[in-house]
């Protein structure tokens, strides 16, 4: 390996890239699915205008996508008073601040909701939750960091879900609190009072009591309750959509794009195969140059099976070296992917969390690498000693 350092390094690097890619694709796929399906903001269901459940959940829980439409205040009050419902939190959307969504809601979201088991929304020191009657804002931690917003800052919202400098509202909001990181989509939105959205200058006054969606917490998270309400709204009614359970709705998204997963995985496997083939090519091509070296070793007493084993070990060593560096590539790829996902969704992936792929991918690639050494090893095994030693006298 030392003698052919350059080709060894290049071959090992190709294994590193393949291994890093394989581990990254697998980890992102699994963590993303687990994280996304695990995020529900502390709710069991979402009620919204008639339309796609997925769109409703993406809009209301993940703060992505446009709202499928509005609900009347009476719809909100109806579900709030339903005997199966423990808590109903209305939200309204339609404005942004430099691309970061403004979400109007009521203080109960912060006072009564556990966004994750045992976890309530908390503020950074010095802040307070907004007064529902005032134009005040509580900023998600990610937005605060990216936009440099702090307590006391004032800002104009912009109309729409996408930033347009020409769509600035005249209203001015004051930041009164910054949320501590929750590692949920809530980190990347700005929370304002429900009426802040409803009565924003320039919004339709006829819709001043409408909401975009209602986040629903069922009593005891009862599946029977969820089923009953699903029947009520989705089957018997035709105006509204009841998206329940939230996790299953998101899982549907991953099922729909499952083919993309498979394509990514296939690409990763192919890259791994090509990388191990490069081990075969590299060592095999060197066999011609190394015939004399092998003949000398045989002349010194090395048995054929020793030569065979040495070549196999060389192949495995290159693969092992590659896989050690693969973790560096994995860290780089995962850090990049986690950053993008955090930026886009607020969801945090953990690049350093253990995944079984970190065991089986190295084992598989090292084994494949060793197997790639079989053909060159066999060629070395068959080297004719006398013919390949120095010219005879």
* Closer residue to other proteins in complex, CB, 50/292: 292
- The half-sphere exposure of 107 on its side-chain side, counting CA atoms within 13 A, is 9
CB of 291 to other proteins, least distance (A): 12
Rounded to an integer, what distance in angstroms lies between the CA atom of residue 325 and that of residue 16?
Answer: 5
Q: What angle do CA 147, 67, 340 make, to 5 degrees?
A: 40
Judge residue 146's burial from the number of C-beta atoms within 10 Å of its C-beta, 0-12 exposed, 13-18 middle, 19 or more buried.
middle
* Closer residue to other proteins in complex, CB, 239/384: 384
* Closer residue to other proteins in complex, CB, 135/291: 291
* Closer residue to other proteins in complex, CB, 2/206: 2
Contact residues: other proteins, CB under 8 A: 2-3, 292-293, 296-306, 385-386, 389-393
Rounded to an integer, what distance in angstroms lies between the CA atom of residue 365 and that of residue 358?
Answer: 11
* Closer residue to other proteins in complex, CB, 348/389: 389
CB of 296 to other proteins, least distance (A): 5
Closest CA to 92 of 182, 188, 193: 193
CB of 58 to other proteins, least distance (A): 60
* Closer residue to other proteins in complex, CB, 9/232: 9
Closest CA to 276 of 18, 72, 88, 5: 18
Closest CA to 369 of 328, 321, 330, 329: 321
* Closer residue to other proteins in complex, CB, 290/379: 290
Helix (H) or strand (E) holding 306: helix 304-345
CB of 370 to other proteins, least distance (A): 22
CB of 371 to other proteins, least distance (A): 25
Residue 123 CA: distances (Å) to CA of 120, 128, 129, 349? 10, 7, 8, 23
CB of 313 to other proteins, least distance (A): 15
Residue 235 CA: distances (Å) to CA of 230, 241, 245, 254, 263? 7, 9, 15, 25, 36
Cβ neighbours, 10 Å, residue 90: 26
CB of 384 to other proteins, least distance (A): 10
Closest CA to 361 of 328, 326, 334: 326
* Closer residue to other proteins in complex, CB, 41/376: 376
CB of 284 to other proteins, least distance (A): 18
Tokens matching residue 319: 């693969």
SS3 label, residue 39: coil
């Amino acid at each position: 390996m030392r003698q052919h350092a350059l080709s060894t390094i290049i071959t090992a690097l190709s294994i590193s890239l393949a291994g890093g890619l394989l581990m990254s694709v697998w980890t992102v796929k699994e963590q993303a699915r687990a994280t996304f399906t695990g995020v529900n903001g502390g709710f069991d269901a979402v009620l919204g205008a008639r339309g796609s459940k997925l769109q409703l959940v993406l809009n209301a829980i993940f703060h992505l996508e446009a709202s499928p439409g509005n609900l009347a205040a009476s719809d909100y009050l109806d579900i709030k008073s339903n005997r199966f419902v423990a808590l109903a939190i209305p939200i309204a959307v339609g404005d942004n601040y430099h691309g970061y969504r403004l979400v109007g809601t009521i203080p109960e979201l912060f006072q009564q909701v556990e966004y994750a088991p045992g976890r309530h929304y908390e503020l950074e020191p010095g802040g307070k939750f907004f007064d529902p009657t005032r134009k005040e804002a509580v900023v998600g931690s990610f937005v605060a960091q990216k936009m440099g917003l702090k307590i006391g800052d004032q800002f104009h919202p912009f109309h729409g879900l996408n930033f347009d400098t020409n769509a600035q509202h005249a209203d001015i909001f004051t930041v009164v609190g910054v949320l501590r990181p929750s590692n949920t989509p809530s980190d990347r939105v700005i929370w304002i009072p429900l009426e802040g959205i409803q009565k924003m200058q320039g919004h339709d006054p006829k819709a001043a009591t409408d909401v975009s969606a209602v986040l629903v917490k069922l009593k005891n998270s009862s599946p029977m309750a969820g089923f009953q309400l699903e029947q009520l709204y989705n089957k018997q009614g035709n105006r509204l959509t009841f998206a329940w359970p939230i996790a299953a709705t998101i899982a549907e998204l991953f099922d729909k794009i499952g083919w993309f997963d498979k394509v990514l995985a296939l690409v990763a496997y192919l890259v791994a195969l090509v990388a191990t083939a490069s081990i075969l090519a590299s060592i095999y091509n060197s066999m011609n140059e190394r015939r004399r070296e092998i003949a000398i070793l045989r002349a010194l007493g090395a048995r054929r099976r020793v030569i065979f084993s040495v070549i196999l070990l060389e192949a495995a060593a290159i693969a092992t070296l590659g896989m050690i560096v693969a973790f560096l590539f994995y860290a780089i790829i995962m850090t990049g992917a986690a950053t993008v996902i955090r930026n886009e969704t607020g969801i945090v992936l953990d690049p350093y969390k253990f995944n079984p792929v970190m065991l089986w991918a190295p084992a598989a690639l090292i084994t494949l690498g060793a197997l790639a050494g079989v053909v060159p090893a066999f060629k070395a095994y068959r080297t004719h000693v006398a013919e390949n030693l120095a010219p005879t006298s």
